[in-house]
Amino acid sequence: MKIIGVDVGGTKISAGLVVDNKIVRQSTVDTPFDRPQLEVVNALYQAIDEIYDTAVTGIGIGVPGLVDLDEKRVIDVVNIPSWDSVPLFDLVSDYFNKPVFVNNDANCFAVGEKYFGKGKPFNNFVGLTIGTGMGAGIIINGHLYSGRLCGAGEFGSIFQKDRSVEAFASGQFFKDKGLDGKVIYKRASIGDPVALRLFEELGSHIGRAISNILFALAPEAIILGGSVSESFKYFGDAMHEFLEENFPYQRLYNQLVIEVSDVENMAILGASSLVLDAQ
C-alpha cells in the first residue's frame, strides 16, 4: 500500500511517500505562516507534489490545532493565523482526487505508535508528546478517541499553580528560565550537576502530568514522543520517583508501561497512519 503523510508545522511542512510502512520519498517546504490561508495551502500542495505517486490510497495530514471532522475543517492552527477555519479536507481531496484524512498532530502520533511503534501491543494507551509544549493522543479499545474538534488529550493545558502543566513539563520549563534546552542537554551529557538537577526538576513535573493521565484514563501504557523525550535518560528517574512517592494507587502505577518512541519521522508516519486507521 502507498500512502502520503504530511506534517504541517509553524515553520516547515514535511511530506513523505510511505510504501509498505516505510518512507521512500520525503520533501520539506517552508511554511508561509504569515500569509493568507490559500498561500499556505499551496505550500502544502507543493510538498505533496514533490513526492506524489498516482497509486497512493490516500493522504493523511497532521496539524497543530483543532479539527472539525463533521465540517471537514481545520481551525485555530497554532502559529498559522490565517488557518482559523480552512476546508482542508475538500481542498486537498479535490486537488489530488484522493481521500484525505486530517487530525491533530498529537493524535497522529498516537495512531502512528499504534501501527508502527511501541503502541502495537496495547489496546489502551496514551501517546504523550513533549516538545515546545505538551499534547497527547488517546487510544481506547484500539481506536483513537479524538473528542469534539479533535481536542481530547490536551493534558498540557490543565492548570497547575495558575499556569498550564506544559509551562512546567515541556520545553517551556527551560525557556521560562531563560535557558536553551539543547544547551542544558549537552551540559547534562557531560555530567554538569546544575543541568542534571534541572532535568530532575523537569522529571518531577512530567511525573505530575502523567499522574493526571492515570487519574483520567488508567491506560496500559504511555508512549513518550517529542524532542524533550530524547532526554528521558536524564529526567526518567525523577519522573518515576514522583509517581512512586505521590501517586496514591500504586498497583495501577506498577502495571503502567512507560516507553519512549524509537520511530524516526513519526510525524509523517503518524499522519499517514490516519489512512490506515480509516480502512
Number of Cβ within 10 Å of residue 29's Cβ equals 18
Number of Cβ within 10 Å of residue 23's Cβ equals 17
SS3 content of the chain, % helix, strand, coil (to 5): 40, 25, 30
Q: What is the pTM of this model?
A: 0.96
Contacts of 267 (CB under 8 A, 6+ apart): 5, 7, 14, 62, 105, 108, 109
CATH 3.30.420.40 segments of the chain: 2-107+265-277, 121-260
pLDDT for 162 equals 83
- 242-266 pLDDT, tens digit each: 999 999 999 999 999 999 999 999 9
- 149-171 pLDDT, tens digit each: 999 999 999 987 789 999 999 99
pLDDT for 279 equals 87
Strand partners, 26: 16
Provide the CATH topology of domain 2-107+265-277.
Nucleotidyltransferase; domain 5 (3.30.420)
For residue 152, give the C-alpha cell: 481530547
**Low pLDDT (below 70) residues in the chain:** none
pLDDT for 160 equals 78
CATH code assigned to 121-260: 3.30.420.40
